[in-house]
Structure 1
Amino acid sequence: MNGAAKGAIVGGAFLAMLGGAGYGVYALVGDGGADGGKSTSAAGPAAPAKGSGPVSDKDAAQTARAFFAAWSAGDARAGADLTNNPAEAQGALGDFRNKAYVSKVAITPGAQTGTTVAYSVAAEVTYEGVTKPLVYESKLTVVRGNTSGLPLVDWQPSVLHPQLQKGEKLRGGAPASPPVKAVDRNGKELTAEKYPSLRPVLDSLRTTYGKKLGGASGAELWIEPAAQDAPRRSLLTLVEGTPGRIETVLDADVQAAAEKAVLKFPQASVVAVQPSTGDVLAIADHRGDGFPASISGGRAPGSTMKIVTAAMLLDRGLVSADKVAECPPEVSWEGRTFKNLKGFKLDNETFATSFAQSCNTAFIKQIKPVHDIDALPKEALEVFGIGVEWKVGVPTVDGKVPDATGPAAAAAYIGQGQIQMNPLTMASITATARTGVFRQPVVVDASMDGRQLAKASRRMKPAVAAQLVRMMKLTATDGTARGAMASVGGSDKGAKTGSAEVDGAQNPDSWFTGFSGDVAAAAFVEGGGHGADAAGPIVAAVLNAG
């Protein structure tokens, strides 16, 4: 639950809480407190003396109490001196009152796990005579100072507010961009409260289009991003502005299904695209860091990339869906050995079967006949639009298939190495495979602002498109995607699974992409294992909703 929502629940209980504050509650009352450099409050709990070795639980609790007392008293200097980064902490604690307009705050320590102390914050934000409550929970960790030997709060932006990331700041007042009322393709309103994954998208739409839609700003508390071109993230509305209405091509029903599906797995993301138009139907993420990995991430996509590799090989006439393709248990290229999962092999089977069973070696054995080291990047760029700048209507990262040589070139054939994708780009690749035509994904129709959409330089050959669709259908009915796609109704469905090894990770990333009718979807679960196990059910749920 976000701070604004929690604040609405607490509401009028705030003053009563302050008036009856008991042991362990640190409160600042009134507007006559410190200016960020001097304290006018009574002395709070003393911090422990310096020592050596690991910080004890007792010292951690004592340091946390002293820090809470200084923070709640508005004494930025005293609070900062209790951290391991006093310069940054003093600025942030001072801004909490002077630039975020927090007029009252009560901090209640919660559960302690070792040297990590949880706490709840009940605050009031006041701007130009309007006051609203803000309630949230966070935690801090106490560490030993490198030079001082003192137990100190390990200063992170999240100490001030859990949604703050490195370089970000809390700010209040009248924002530059008026609010927007976003609606889906059928006129249904899209709100961050109902569709939490859309918060970054809605913030981006506001930043880009707010001034163009005739709305008027109110007053808010927001997170100012570290990057200049990144959208602000609203935390609390003090005075409602007049929103401008913006029409998106999202589908509220598909979005709702996507939101529900990603909740089943941590670090999960999914995007759905309409192949016939390029319209983005849904964007959803379930991540602890709030990062929109669905549209802004970049990870190796594993065997889902074989869609592009297969298109390239079919295009060059090196393979055919119905011709036998050798699939040994392992194959070497320039000193590196590549293996199939658990060393499986296929005897006298077609390339379509190798695709459906995700045989790595059947693909890598073709690198020598291809000759051209930039064949895969060219196919990705010229046919699938990967490598040109997309103008979706919100900020996106649009995939990367760089030139590679040696073992890295072979790894790229199976979606490893330097390849970078996200669910948006993989959903688009699947949509292109489905129709044979690249249509740049959009969240807002280009007619909204006249922006020029990216185009591919050539269409996929009809024979290639037909074979690619047939192989994806085989994968969905008799290949590695069979289990995940079993719940998707109808016969017009196809898929591709993928798992990508990541250096230092215990489990591979789970990837899955598929289509059903005029909906294509791709999902990614960080550390989720095999594609059909985690990402597969997410895609299936989204396809069923479409």
Structure 2
Amino acid sequence: MRSGAKAAVIGGAFIVVAGGVGWGAYNVLDGITGGGGDGGTSNVSSKNEVKSGPLSSDEVDKTAKDFLKGWAAGSEPTDVAQLTNNPADAATALDGYRAQAHVTKAVITPGKATGATVPFTVRATVSLGGKTKPWSYSSKLTVVRGLTTGRPLVDWLPTVIHPKLTKTSHLVTSEAPTPPIKAVDRNGKELTKAKYPSLGPILDALREKYGADAGGTSGVELQIQSDGDSVPGTTLLTLSKGKAGKLRTTLDANVQGAAERAVKEFGEASVAAVRPSTGDILAVANNRTDGFNAAMLGKQAPGSTMKIITAAMLMEKGLTGPGRPSPCPPTVMYEGRTFKNDGGFSIPNGTLTQAFARSCNTSFIKWIDDVKTNGRTDEGALKKEAEEVFGLGMDNWKTGVTSFDGSVPFASGGEAAAQYIGQGTVQMNVLNMASVAATAKNGTFRQPVVVPQSLDGRDLAHASRSLPSSVAQGLRDMMNVTATSGTGAQAMASLSGYKGAKTGSAEVDGQHNPNSWFVGFQEDCAAAAVVQAGGHGADAAGPVVAKVLAAD
């Protein structure tokens, strides 16, 4: 669409203001950097000179002014895009701002620059089909020097247009692809993004998958939509509401609320809680700067919480048991790799319960040569245990939304030994590890679900066998000792009743402190948490789990 056609649509309604004053034909963007306007500085160097070095405040002022003024005035997108270092992508985004997002009016107000970065606010009007709503947000741009021309240019990122845009998403105003939903918890209490922010990605995904069948009707919405089909749209503005269909989930508002509050106490933290007897997901919460649903989609080493699975495998092999010997030396070597305990502690003549409760690495790794199948060392035994008993690593969970169900790939040598203590190539998230604790508590794997299976009749994952009753009881007993007198005792001290726990610390290359992991259960609730760089499992993740368990 050429500029003449745009002028007819926009009608001069776009305007940039500085300090509340509208732009005229020759206004200068005073006050952005504290400089005195453009000072006669041109954005374009002379033919014989390619400027270099730091940008002046005048260059930042003029470049920001020209870009924001062109954007707000409805100028030809390809012309405005020439003021950026990626004209092709910028032109597409600027054109879509009106052609797809249907923004018909806008006032853009720059703020005070910090160096070469200029914040600004947008107060816009979105109109479609007779429906009109105001829309306000803040964003920022950064001015850089062109690599080949030396010109000051806006460093193009999709976030210039809107802070939530990415390279693979765009703004669209239309009748919503799916009707809205009114998601409720297991007791009928409404679950909203405003009250439970962590549920945002999950509620979007539930709407995408079940909205058409929940009985609602679509309204007109401004959404961020992915260029692919894998990510549900995120609604930024509702022009007309439509009618929400009711969707019952397995979540528990009380537990979810506790989870939301608990993760807020730590940066980059995630927690999940499930019902061992049914697999119902009671809560999922994240506190992350990137908004990623790491609780269900994360992939990282779970540290010593993995010893629940390792212990189950060793007991099923008949090698040891809660009261049986499991020596814990300070260090142990396997296939050229040396493993040690935190702080170098040892437990001479120790039992498996003692090794489990104090999280002794060497005690578990020492058994690897004795784990045999048909008389030969079986380095794939842990993978088999994870799949056949704990339902992990087969890419077949159907929780109701997209999730990752863990990975324990085949490994040999020192890598196989590292898996025994939850390091190396093992990958889990907190939903996976909450399920592990739930399986230990229940004795049988129940695939976690966030909406009932009866909603759509989907096939749930099943483990091929349950834990032998003696092994399940042994795991519960060892987790109970850990929660009452072992490494998890302080974190679990406030909880009464029958309880169990396992701590974990996962080393990460290049990270000073390990990730803090903790899993626990109390009666018919199991939970797991991770805090990035949180240190020992009981220090950060432990209190998160305890607060979630206390809310059930």
What is the TM-score of this pair, normalised by structure 1? Answer: 0.90
Choose the corresponding residue for 2:19, options 23, 26, 37.
23
Deviation at 1:283, TM superposition (A): 1.0
- Give the letter for the 2:531 counterpart: V
State the Cα distance separating 1:270 from its structure 2 match.
Answer: 0.9
Residue aligned with 1:189, SS? coil
Identity %: 55
Determine the structure 2 residue equivalent to 1:70. Answer: 70
Whether the 8 Å contact between 1:272 and 1:521 is mirrored in structure 2 is yes
* CA distances 1:425-481 after superposition (whole Å, capped 9, x unpaired): 111111001111000000111111111110000001111111111111111111111
Amino acid at match of 1:458: R
Q: Distance in 1 between matches of 2:192 and 2:381?
A: 43
Matches within 5 A, 1:316-335: 316-335=317-336
Aligned to 1:469: 476
- Contact kept, 8 Å, 2:16 with 2:68, in 1: the verdict is no
Change in CA separation of 1:74 and 1:341 when aligned onto 2, cut-off 3 Å: farther
Which residues of 2 match residues 135-534 of structure 1 at below 5 A? 135-370=136-371, 371-388=377-394, 389-487=396-494, 489-534=495-540
How far, CA to CA, are the matches of 1:82 and 1:319 in structure 2? 70
- Match runs of 1:6-155 below 5 Å: 21-23=17-19, 48-49=43-44, 51-56=51-56, 59-75=59-75, 76-155=77-156
Partner AA of 2:541 in structure 1: A
Q: Residue 69 of structure 1 aligns to which amino acid in structure 2?
A: K
Structure 2 Cα separation of the partners of residues 58 and 369 of structure 1: 73
Larger radius of gyration: 2
Match of 1:14 in 2: none
Report the count of equivalent residues.
517
Give the TM-score normalised by the residue count of structure 2.
0.89
Distance in 1 separating the partners of 2:492 and 2:112: 44
Contact 1:250–1:280, Cα closer than 8 Å, also in 2: yes
CA spacing shift, 1:241–1:542, aligned 2, 3 Å? same
1:398/1:346 Cα in 2 relative to 1: closer, same or farther (>3 Å)?
A: same
What is the distance in 2 between the residues matched to 1:502 and 1:199?
29
Identify the range of structure 1 (526-535 vs 439-448) with the bigger mean alpha-carbon deviation.
Answer: 526-535
**Structure 2 letter corresponding to 1:517:** E
Amino acid of the residue matched to residue 164 of structure 1? L
**AA partner of residue 343 (structure 2):** K
Q: Structure 1 residues 118-127 or 305-314, which shifts more?
A: 118-127
Offset at residue 289 of structure 1 (A) = 1.0
Distance change >3 Å, CA 248–CA 149, structure 1 → 2: same
Deviation per residue, 1:141-160 (Å, 9 max, x gap) = 33332222223222222222
**Using the alignment, how far apart are the partners of 1:81 and 1:248 within structure 2?**
49
- SS of the residue corresponding to residue 348 of structure 2 reads coil
Query: Aligned-pair distance for 1:139?
Result: 2.7
Residues 15 and 108 in structure 2, CA contact (< 8 A), matched pair in contact too: no
- 1:436 maps to a residue whose letter is G
Structure 1 residue 230 displacement after superposition: 1.8
Give the RMSD, CA atoms, in angstroms.
2.2
Cα distance change, pair 142–411 in 1 and its aligned pair in 2 (3 A): farther
Question: For 1:170-196, what per-residue CA distance to the aligned partner results, in whole angstroms no more than 9, with x for missing partners?
Answer: 111112211111111111111111111
CA distance in 2, matches of 1:124, 1:182: 29
1:278 maps to amino acid: G
Asked if the contact 1:111–1:118 (Cα under 8 Å) also holds between the matched residues in 2, the reply is yes
3-state SS in 1 of match to 2:113 = strand
- Counterpart CA distance in 1 for 2:82 and 2:97 is 16
For the residue of structure 2 that corresponds to 1:441, the secondary structure is: coil
SS in structure 2 opposite 1:95? helix
Q: CA deviation at 1:27?
A: 7.5
Whole-Å Cα distance in 2 between the matches of residues 218 and 428 of structure 1? 38
Cα contact 2:16–2:108 (8 A) shared by 1: no
Residue matched to 1:11: none
- Contact 2:393–2:405 (CA<8 Å) still a contact in 1? yes
Return the alpha-carbon distance in structure 1 between the equivalents of residues 54 and 17 of structure 2. Answer: 33
Separation in structure 2 between the aligned mates of residue 411 and residue 233 of structure 1, nearest angstrom = 40
How many Å apart are 1:43 and its aligned residue?
A: 8.2
CA shift digits 1:310-366 (9 cap, x unpaired): 111111111211122111121111121112112222222211111111111111111
Q: CA deviation at 1:209?
A: 0.8
Cα distance change, pair 79–534 in 1 and its aligned pair in 2 (3 A): farther
Partner Cα distance (2:509, 2:59) in 1: 37
